[in-house]
Structure 1
Amino acid sequence: LLSPKSLGNMDSRIGFIVLFCLIGLTCAEPVRFLDCGSTSGKVIGVDINPCPTQPCQLHKGDAYSVNVTFSSGVETSKSTAVVHGIVAGVPLPFPIPEDDGCKCGIQCPIQKDNTYHYLNTLSVKAEYPAIKVVVEWELRDASSSDLFCIKFPVQIVS
Protein backbone atom coordinates (compact mmCIF):
# COMPACT_ATOMS: atom_id res chain seq x y z
CA LEU A 1 0.00 0.00 0.00
CA LEU A 2 1.02 3.61 -0.51
CA SER A 3 1.97 5.79 2.43
CA PRO A 4 0.97 9.49 2.67
CA LYS A 5 4.61 10.43 1.98
CA SER A 6 4.76 8.40 -1.25
CA LEU A 7 1.39 9.87 -2.33
CA GLY A 8 2.79 13.39 -1.83
CA ASN A 9 5.81 12.56 -4.01
CA MET A 10 3.51 11.03 -6.62
CA ASP A 11 1.32 14.17 -6.64
CA SER A 12 4.33 16.40 -7.24
CA ARG A 13 5.57 14.12 -10.06
CA ILE A 14 2.14 14.12 -11.71
CA GLY A 15 1.96 17.91 -11.33
CA PHE A 16 5.39 18.24 -12.97
CA ILE A 17 4.36 15.98 -15.87
CA VAL A 18 1.12 17.92 -16.43
CA LEU A 19 3.01 21.24 -16.31
CA PHE A 20 5.63 19.94 -18.76
CA CYS A 21 2.88 18.81 -21.19
CA LEU A 22 1.09 22.17 -20.99
CA ILE A 23 4.31 24.05 -21.70
CA GLY A 24 4.82 21.89 -24.77
CA LEU A 25 1.36 22.77 -26.06
CA THR A 26 1.86 26.53 -25.73
CA CYS A 27 5.31 26.75 -27.32
CA ALA A 28 5.12 26.99 -31.10
CA GLU A 29 7.94 25.55 -33.15
CA PRO A 30 9.82 27.76 -35.60
CA VAL A 31 7.97 28.11 -38.90
CA ARG A 32 9.24 26.13 -41.87
CA PHE A 33 10.04 28.49 -44.72
CA LEU A 34 11.76 28.60 -48.09
CA ASP A 35 14.38 31.20 -48.90
CA CYS A 36 13.24 32.87 -52.13
CA GLY A 37 16.27 34.96 -52.94
CA SER A 38 17.95 36.52 -49.90
CA THR A 39 20.82 38.18 -51.78
CA SER A 40 22.20 40.64 -49.22
CA GLY A 41 21.44 38.70 -46.02
CA LYS A 42 20.81 35.23 -44.59
CA VAL A 43 17.70 34.10 -42.71
CA ILE A 44 18.41 32.35 -39.41
CA GLY A 45 14.84 31.67 -38.28
CA VAL A 46 11.17 32.62 -38.61
CA ASP A 47 8.59 32.65 -35.82
CA ILE A 48 4.89 33.46 -36.10
CA ASN A 49 2.87 33.87 -32.94
CA PRO A 50 0.47 32.24 -32.41
CA CYS A 51 1.15 29.36 -34.78
CA PRO A 52 0.91 26.05 -32.90
CA THR A 53 0.59 23.96 -36.10
CA GLN A 54 1.86 24.25 -39.65
CA PRO A 55 0.77 25.50 -42.01
CA CYS A 56 -0.22 28.35 -39.69
CA GLN A 57 -3.96 28.77 -39.44
CA LEU A 58 -4.69 32.47 -39.55
CA HIS A 59 -8.13 33.36 -38.23
CA LYS A 60 -10.06 36.16 -39.92
CA GLY A 61 -10.08 39.30 -37.79
CA ASP A 62 -6.93 38.35 -35.85
CA ALA A 63 -3.37 39.69 -35.98
CA TYR A 64 -0.16 37.64 -35.83
CA SER A 65 3.35 38.69 -34.93
CA VAL A 66 6.05 37.76 -37.43
CA ASN A 67 9.65 37.67 -36.23
CA VAL A 68 12.45 37.03 -38.74
CA THR A 69 15.98 36.66 -37.43
CA PHE A 70 18.57 37.36 -40.12
CA SER A 71 22.17 38.39 -40.58
CA SER A 72 23.03 41.18 -42.97
CA GLY A 73 25.68 40.82 -45.63
CA VAL A 74 25.68 44.55 -46.37
CA GLU A 75 25.56 47.96 -44.74
CA THR A 76 22.42 49.89 -45.55
CA SER A 77 20.74 53.03 -44.27
CA LYS A 78 17.19 51.78 -44.80
CA SER A 79 15.05 48.69 -45.22
CA THR A 80 11.61 48.29 -46.75
CA ALA A 81 9.23 45.35 -46.35
CA VAL A 82 7.13 44.05 -49.22
CA VAL A 83 4.58 41.27 -48.62
CA HIS A 84 2.55 39.27 -51.13
CA GLY A 85 0.06 36.46 -50.89
CA ILE A 86 0.61 34.03 -53.74
CA VAL A 87 -2.67 32.52 -54.94
CA ALA A 88 -2.63 30.15 -57.96
CA GLY A 89 0.87 31.43 -58.79
CA VAL A 90 -0.22 35.09 -58.81
CA PRO A 91 1.40 37.45 -56.25
CA LEU A 92 -1.21 39.74 -54.67
CA PRO A 93 -0.08 42.68 -52.46
CA PHE A 94 -0.66 42.02 -48.77
CA PRO A 95 -0.79 45.18 -46.66
CA ILE A 96 1.20 45.37 -43.43
CA PRO A 97 0.95 48.14 -40.81
CA GLU A 98 4.56 49.30 -41.19
CA ASP A 99 6.77 48.79 -44.25
CA ASP A 100 9.81 50.62 -42.83
CA GLY A 101 12.04 47.87 -41.42
CA CYS A 102 13.92 50.46 -39.36
CA LYS A 103 10.71 50.89 -37.32
CA CYS A 104 10.24 47.15 -36.85
CA GLY A 105 12.82 46.17 -34.25
CA ILE A 106 15.84 47.00 -36.40
CA GLN A 107 18.16 49.84 -35.49
CA CYS A 108 19.36 51.51 -38.67
CA PRO A 109 21.81 51.88 -40.24
CA ILE A 110 22.07 48.12 -40.67
CA GLN A 111 25.64 46.89 -40.26
CA LYS A 112 27.31 44.13 -42.26
CA ASP A 113 27.70 40.78 -40.42
CA ASN A 114 25.31 41.77 -37.60
CA THR A 115 22.23 39.78 -36.62
CA TYR A 116 18.82 41.46 -36.49
CA HIS A 117 15.32 40.60 -35.30
CA TYR A 118 12.72 42.03 -37.66
CA LEU A 119 9.28 42.16 -35.99
CA ASN A 120 6.02 43.08 -37.71
CA THR A 121 2.32 42.24 -37.62
CA LEU A 122 0.27 40.29 -40.11
CA SER A 123 -3.40 41.26 -39.84
CA VAL A 124 -6.02 38.99 -41.38
CA LYS A 125 -9.04 41.01 -42.46
CA ALA A 126 -12.51 39.57 -41.96
CA GLU A 127 -13.28 40.01 -45.67
CA TYR A 128 -10.39 37.76 -46.78
CA PRO A 129 -11.57 34.45 -48.26
CA ALA A 130 -10.93 31.20 -46.41
CA ILE A 131 -8.07 29.90 -48.53
CA LYS A 132 -4.62 28.32 -48.48
CA VAL A 133 -2.01 30.82 -49.59
CA VAL A 134 1.78 31.16 -49.68
CA VAL A 135 3.07 34.33 -48.04
CA GLU A 136 6.15 35.89 -49.61
CA TRP A 137 7.85 38.39 -47.29
CA GLU A 138 10.79 40.47 -48.44
CA LEU A 139 12.90 43.01 -46.60
CA ARG A 140 14.80 45.11 -49.11
CA ASP A 141 17.90 47.20 -48.50
CA ALA A 142 18.54 50.74 -49.86
CA SER A 143 19.45 49.32 -53.30
CA SER A 144 16.29 47.12 -53.40
CA SER A 145 18.24 43.88 -52.89
CA ASP A 146 16.67 41.40 -50.49
CA LEU A 147 18.09 41.34 -46.98
CA PHE A 148 15.72 38.42 -46.76
CA CYS A 149 13.05 36.85 -48.91
CA ILE A 150 11.01 34.05 -47.36
CA LYS A 151 7.97 32.03 -48.39
CA PHE A 152 5.76 30.10 -45.99
CA PRO A 153 2.33 28.50 -46.36
CA VAL A 154 -0.67 29.66 -44.33
CA GLN A 155 -4.34 28.82 -44.26
CA ILE A 156 -6.89 31.58 -43.69
CA VAL A 157 -9.81 30.23 -41.66
CA SER A 158 -13.07 31.63 -40.32
Structure 2
Amino acid sequence: MKGNIFISFCSLVIFLIAIECLATSTVYKCDTNNTELLEGVTIENCTTSRCPLKRNSTIKIEIKFITDFDVKDVITEVYGLLFNIPIPLLGVDSKSVCNNIFLENGVKTTCPLAKGNTYVYKDVINILEVYPKIKIDVHWGLKDPVSRRVIICLEYPAKIID
Protein backbone atom coordinates (compact mmCIF):
# COMPACT_ATOMS: atom_id res chain seq x y z
CA MET A 1 0.00 0.00 0.00
CA LYS A 2 2.76 2.47 0.96
CA GLY A 3 4.64 1.52 -2.22
CA ASN A 4 1.61 2.32 -4.38
CA ILE A 5 1.15 5.71 -2.69
CA PHE A 6 4.87 6.49 -3.20
CA ILE A 7 4.71 5.50 -6.89
CA SER A 8 1.54 7.59 -7.37
CA PHE A 9 3.20 10.55 -5.65
CA CYS A 10 6.35 10.24 -7.80
CA SER A 11 4.23 9.98 -10.95
CA LEU A 12 2.34 13.14 -9.98
CA VAL A 13 5.59 15.04 -9.33
CA ILE A 14 7.05 13.94 -12.69
CA PHE A 15 3.81 14.93 -14.45
CA LEU A 16 3.81 18.40 -12.84
CA ILE A 17 7.48 18.94 -13.73
CA ALA A 18 6.78 17.91 -17.33
CA ILE A 19 3.85 20.35 -17.55
CA GLU A 20 6.03 23.17 -16.17
CA CYS A 21 8.79 22.39 -18.67
CA LEU A 22 6.30 22.60 -21.53
CA ALA A 23 4.88 25.94 -20.38
CA THR A 24 6.50 28.77 -22.30
CA SER A 25 5.54 32.29 -23.05
CA THR A 26 3.40 32.45 -26.15
CA VAL A 27 4.62 34.81 -28.86
CA TYR A 28 2.08 36.18 -31.32
CA LYS A 29 2.40 37.93 -34.65
CA CYS A 30 1.29 41.57 -34.30
CA ASP A 31 -2.17 42.65 -35.39
CA THR A 32 -3.63 39.14 -35.20
CA ASN A 33 -5.54 39.62 -31.92
CA ASN A 34 -3.35 36.91 -30.35
CA THR A 35 -4.55 34.30 -32.82
CA GLU A 36 -1.45 33.72 -34.99
CA LEU A 37 1.53 32.18 -33.20
CA LEU A 38 5.01 33.24 -34.27
CA GLU A 39 7.82 30.68 -34.43
CA GLY A 40 11.55 31.39 -34.43
CA VAL A 41 11.59 33.63 -31.34
CA THR A 42 13.68 32.90 -28.25
CA ILE A 43 13.45 35.00 -25.09
CA GLU A 44 15.90 34.03 -22.34
CA ASN A 45 14.38 32.68 -19.10
CA CYS A 46 10.89 32.95 -20.54
CA THR A 47 9.42 29.64 -19.41
CA THR A 48 5.97 30.65 -18.16
CA SER A 49 2.85 31.94 -19.86
CA ARG A 50 3.77 35.50 -18.78
CA CYS A 51 7.47 36.13 -19.30
CA PRO A 52 9.19 37.44 -16.12
CA LEU A 53 11.46 40.45 -16.74
CA LYS A 54 13.61 40.97 -13.66
CA ARG A 55 14.45 44.59 -12.94
CA ASN A 56 18.14 45.52 -12.90
CA SER A 57 19.04 42.53 -15.09
CA THR A 58 19.37 41.64 -18.77
CA ILE A 59 17.57 39.28 -21.12
CA LYS A 60 18.66 37.85 -24.44
CA ILE A 61 16.29 37.82 -27.38
CA GLU A 62 16.61 36.14 -30.78
CA ILE A 63 14.18 36.64 -33.65
CA LYS A 64 14.45 34.70 -36.90
CA PHE A 65 12.86 36.46 -39.88
CA ILE A 66 12.70 36.63 -43.67
CA THR A 67 12.69 40.05 -45.31
CA ASP A 68 9.86 40.79 -47.76
CA PHE A 69 11.71 43.81 -49.20
CA ASP A 70 15.24 45.21 -49.45
CA VAL A 71 16.21 46.95 -46.20
CA LYS A 72 18.88 49.66 -45.86
CA ASP A 73 18.69 50.04 -42.06
CA VAL A 74 16.86 48.33 -39.19
CA ILE A 75 15.55 49.97 -36.03
CA THR A 76 13.56 48.56 -33.13
CA GLU A 77 10.04 49.50 -32.17
CA VAL A 78 9.67 48.25 -28.61
CA TYR A 79 7.05 49.28 -26.10
CA GLY A 80 4.83 47.88 -23.43
CA LEU A 81 1.09 48.00 -23.83
CA LEU A 82 -0.56 49.07 -20.59
CA PHE A 83 -4.34 49.49 -20.91
CA ASN A 84 -3.74 49.64 -24.70
CA ILE A 85 -1.45 52.65 -24.24
CA PRO A 86 2.06 52.17 -25.76
CA ILE A 87 4.86 52.96 -23.30
CA PRO A 88 8.33 52.95 -24.97
CA LEU A 89 11.01 50.86 -23.26
CA LEU A 90 13.86 53.24 -22.47
CA GLY A 91 17.13 52.48 -24.26
CA VAL A 92 15.51 49.82 -26.46
CA ASP A 93 12.95 51.64 -28.61
CA SER A 94 14.07 53.26 -31.89
CA LYS A 95 17.69 52.07 -31.78
CA SER A 96 19.58 50.90 -34.85
CA VAL A 97 20.29 47.18 -34.70
CA CYS A 98 22.23 46.53 -37.91
CA ASN A 99 25.16 45.33 -35.78
CA ASN A 100 22.89 42.70 -34.19
CA ILE A 101 21.96 40.85 -37.40
CA PHE A 102 23.22 37.36 -38.29
CA LEU A 103 22.73 35.04 -41.22
CA GLU A 104 20.75 31.88 -40.58
CA ASN A 105 24.03 29.89 -40.35
CA GLY A 106 25.23 32.11 -37.46
CA VAL A 107 27.66 34.29 -39.43
CA LYS A 108 27.46 37.95 -38.41
CA THR A 109 26.26 40.33 -41.12
CA THR A 110 25.07 43.91 -41.26
CA CYS A 111 22.73 46.14 -43.24
CA PRO A 112 21.61 46.34 -45.98
CA LEU A 113 19.44 43.21 -45.90
CA ALA A 114 18.31 41.56 -49.14
CA LYS A 115 14.70 40.68 -49.89
CA GLY A 116 13.86 37.00 -49.41
CA ASN A 117 16.82 36.11 -47.19
CA THR A 118 16.57 34.61 -43.70
CA TYR A 119 18.24 36.53 -40.87
CA VAL A 120 18.46 36.31 -37.08
CA TYR A 121 18.33 39.38 -34.86
CA LYS A 122 20.15 38.86 -31.53
CA ASP A 123 20.24 41.37 -28.69
CA VAL A 124 20.78 41.73 -24.96
CA ILE A 125 18.26 44.04 -23.33
CA ASN A 126 18.63 45.87 -20.02
CA ILE A 127 15.57 45.67 -17.78
CA LEU A 128 15.99 48.95 -15.93
CA GLU A 129 15.39 49.43 -12.21
CA VAL A 130 13.07 52.37 -13.02
CA TYR A 131 10.55 50.11 -14.77
CA PRO A 132 7.48 49.67 -12.54
CA LYS A 133 6.51 46.20 -11.34
CA ILE A 134 3.52 45.52 -13.58
CA LYS A 135 1.97 43.02 -15.96
CA ILE A 136 2.42 44.23 -19.50
CA ASP A 137 2.17 43.05 -23.09
CA VAL A 138 5.43 43.68 -24.94
CA HIS A 139 5.30 44.81 -28.57
CA TRP A 140 8.59 44.14 -30.38
CA GLY A 141 9.08 45.21 -33.98
CA LEU A 142 11.94 45.58 -36.42
CA LYS A 143 11.39 48.13 -39.17
CA ASP A 144 13.06 50.23 -41.85
CA PRO A 145 13.42 53.79 -40.47
CA VAL A 146 13.18 55.44 -43.90
CA SER A 147 10.14 53.69 -45.38
CA ARG A 148 8.71 52.88 -41.88
CA ARG A 149 7.82 49.43 -43.27
CA VAL A 150 7.65 46.65 -40.69
CA ILE A 151 10.10 43.78 -41.22
CA ILE A 152 8.73 41.62 -38.39
CA CYS A 153 6.56 42.31 -35.39
CA LEU A 154 5.64 40.22 -32.36
CA GLU A 155 3.89 40.56 -29.04
CA TYR A 156 4.13 38.54 -25.85
CA PRO A 157 2.78 38.77 -22.29
CA ALA A 158 5.31 39.76 -19.63
CA LYS A 159 5.58 40.95 -16.06
CA ILE A 160 8.26 43.16 -14.59
CA ILE A 161 9.45 41.77 -11.27
CA ASP A 162 12.12 42.34 -8.59
Shift of 1:136: 0.6
In structure 2, runs of 5+ residues without a counterpart are 1-16, 33-37, 103-109
1:58 corresponds in structure 2 to 53
Shift of 1:54: 2.6
Say if 1:64 and 1:34 are closer, same or farther in 2 by CA, change over 3 A. Answer: same
Match of 2:136 among 108, 133, 148: 133
Say if 1:109 and 1:68 are closer, same or farther in 2 by CA, change over 3 A. Answer: same
2:29 corresponds in structure 1 to 35
Q: Looking at CA atoms only, which structure, 1 or 2, has the larger radius of gyration?
A: 1
Runs of 4 or more consecutive aligned structure 1 residues displaced over 2 Å after TM superposition: 95-98
User: Which stretch has the larger CA shift, 106-115 or 82-91?
Assistant: 106-115
Structure-to-structure mapping, 1:112-151, within 5 angstroms:
112-141=115-144, 142-151=146-155
Q: How many aligned residue pairs are there?
A: 132
In structure 1, runs of 5+ residues without a counterpart are 1-20
Secondary structure in 2 matching 1:103: helix
2:97 corresponds in structure 1 to 101
Code of the aligned partner of 1:76:
V
* Aligned residues with identical type, % of pairs: 26
Retained in 2: the 8 A contact 1:28–1:50? Answer: no
Retained in 2: the 8 A contact 1:44–1:70? Answer: no
Code of the aligned partner of 2:40:
G
Shift of 1:122: 2.4
